[in-house]
């Protein structure tokens, strides 16, 4: 995003640096998006028009040992959304401390790797959380590096009650145009309870077309509480400005009394400089496994970056 303003910043060095102080710069950038949404006919949506507005503060500085430290804080609609501190150690990898973000490390970075022009096929639907992997991201420590062409990352989150959550993810390119990935997580869910998650898949790009498949599994301690999601999608860059995509996913519930939840979605995006026009239409059958319960969401958005 184009910088709105630069603020001079002098910061005292902490325990991570070997000098008495260093000078850096704090950049301010922003984004605004006006949207028109249409939900299911049974839902009361009120005014269909809305606007999101974000302001990001970001800064970085270089230390005497050649490492760099960077920071960002995102404000959404004037309220805190997320922030993060990243130490780039060059060939030794990157270490992060994140609040409300994954920092690109661990299983959260692989939540949904399927190609899309705008929205994921489950976005804004009533059953969107079913079978989608995630992990606590409050005050989370992360680390990532590259080994033999593979990107490896992990993160750790200390939780209340003596528990913790941790995850690891790996992706690599076996041949040109292909990317394969796998991620695992184990999260404390209370005394004698935990949530185990796994996701794996692959994408392949040939010319202007990218296709992919992803399988996610969430295992919980609760009887008949497990869920598995299979997701396929494809996108095509019509030209350097216009892209379209289509995808579908199926959520299978361990509870035999529930039906499979089936989600489908179509997206299109057009970009011109700092402006982007997007449209998406998602629908779901058998929401949360309830046979005959459907949902749909349509959205048109006009976004600007500053």
Q: Quick one: pLDDT at residue 20?
A: 43
- Comparing CA positions, the residue from 157, 117, 153 lying closest to residue 276 is 117
Q: Quick one: pLDDT at residue 194?
A: 85
Report how far residue 89's alpha carbon sits from residue 136's, in angstroms, rounded to the nearest whole number: 25
| Domains of the chain with bracketed CATH | 5-305 (2.40.160.10)
How many helices (DSSP H) and strands (DSSP E) are in the chain?
0, 17
Cα 217–Cα 291–Cα 36 angle in degrees, nearest 5: 80
Q: Quick one: pLDDT at residue 23?
A: 54
Q: Which residues of 82-91 are buried (b: 16+ CB within 10 A; e: fewer)?
A: bbbbbbbeee
Q: Quick one: pLDDT at residue 52?
A: 92
Q: Quick one: pLDDT at residue 78?
A: 86
Count other Cβ atoms within 10 Å, centred on residue 192.
6
Joined tokens for residue 26: 């704090």
Report how far residue 36's alpha carbon sits from residue 8's, in angstroms, rounded to the nearest whole number: 39
Report how far residue 157's alpha carbon sits from residue 163's, in angstroms, rounded to the nearest whole number: 9
Q: Quick one: pLDDT at residue 44?
A: 62
Residue 235 β-bridge partners: 210, 245
Main-chain phi, psi angles of 227, to 5 degrees: -150, 145
Q: Quick one: pLDDT at residue 198?
A: 97
Report how far residue 258's alpha carbon sits from residue 87's, in angstroms, rounded to the nearest whole number: 46
**Global pTM value:** 0.86
Q: Quick one: pLDDT at residue 263?
A: 97
Report how far residue 174's alpha carbon sits from residue 181's, in angstroms, rounded to the nearest whole number: 11
Q: Quick one: pLDDT at residue 19?
A: 42
Q: Quick one: pLDDT at residue 5?
A: 41
What pLDDT tens digit does each residue of the chain (306 aa) get? 444 444 443 333 343 444 445 556 789 999 999 999 987 766 666 789 999 999 999 999 988 899 999 999 999 988 999 999 999 999 999 999 999 988 899 999 999 999 999 999 999 999 999 999 988 888 999 999 999 999 999 999 987 677 889 999 999 999 999 999 999 999 987 777 889 999 999 999 999 999 999 999 999 998 999 999 999 999 999 999 999 999 999 999 999 999 999 999 999 999 999 999 999 999 999 999 999 999 999 999 999 998
Distances (CA, A) of 78 to 53, 54, 73, 115: 8, 8, 12, 31
Q: Quick one: pLDDT at residue 9?
A: 39
């Amino acid at each position: 995003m184009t910088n709105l303003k630069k603020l001079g910043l002098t910061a005292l060095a902490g325990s991570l640096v070997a000098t008495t102080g260093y000078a850096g710069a704090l950049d301010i950038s922003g984004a605004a998006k006006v949207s028109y949404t249409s939900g299911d006919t049974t839902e009361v949506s009120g005014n269909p028009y809305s606007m999101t507005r974000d302001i990001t503060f970001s800064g970085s500085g270089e230390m005497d040992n050649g490492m760099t430290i960077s920071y960002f804080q995102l404000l959404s609609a004037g309220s805190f959304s997320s922030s993060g501190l990243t130490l780039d150690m060059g060939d030794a990898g990157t270490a992060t401390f994140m609040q409300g973000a994954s920092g690109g490390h661990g299983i959260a970075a692989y939540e949904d790797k399927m190609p899309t022009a705008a929205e994921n096929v489950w976005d804004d639907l009533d059953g969107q959380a079913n079978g989608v992997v995630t992990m606590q991201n409050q005050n989370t420590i992360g680390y990532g590096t590259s080994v033999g062409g593979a990107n490896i990352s992990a993160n750790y989150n200390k939780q209340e009650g003596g528990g913790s959550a941790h995850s690891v993810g790996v992706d690599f390119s076996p041949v040109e145009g292909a990317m394969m990935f796998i991620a695992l997580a184990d999260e404390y869910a209370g005394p004698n309870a935990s949530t185990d998650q796994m996701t794996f898949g692959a994408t392949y790009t040939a010319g202007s077309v990218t296709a992919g498949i992803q399988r996610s599994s969430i295992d919980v301690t609760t009887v008949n509480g497990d869920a598995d999601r299979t997701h396929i999608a494809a996108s095509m860059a019509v030209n350097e400005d216009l892209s379209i995509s289509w995808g579908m996913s199926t959520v299978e519930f361990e509870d035999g009394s529930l039906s499979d939840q089936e989600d489908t979605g179509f997206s299109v995006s057009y970009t011109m400089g700092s402006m982007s026009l997007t449209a998406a239409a998602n629908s779901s059958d058998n929401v949360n496994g309830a046979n005959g319960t459907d949902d749909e969401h349509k959205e048109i958005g006009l976004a600007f970056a500053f």
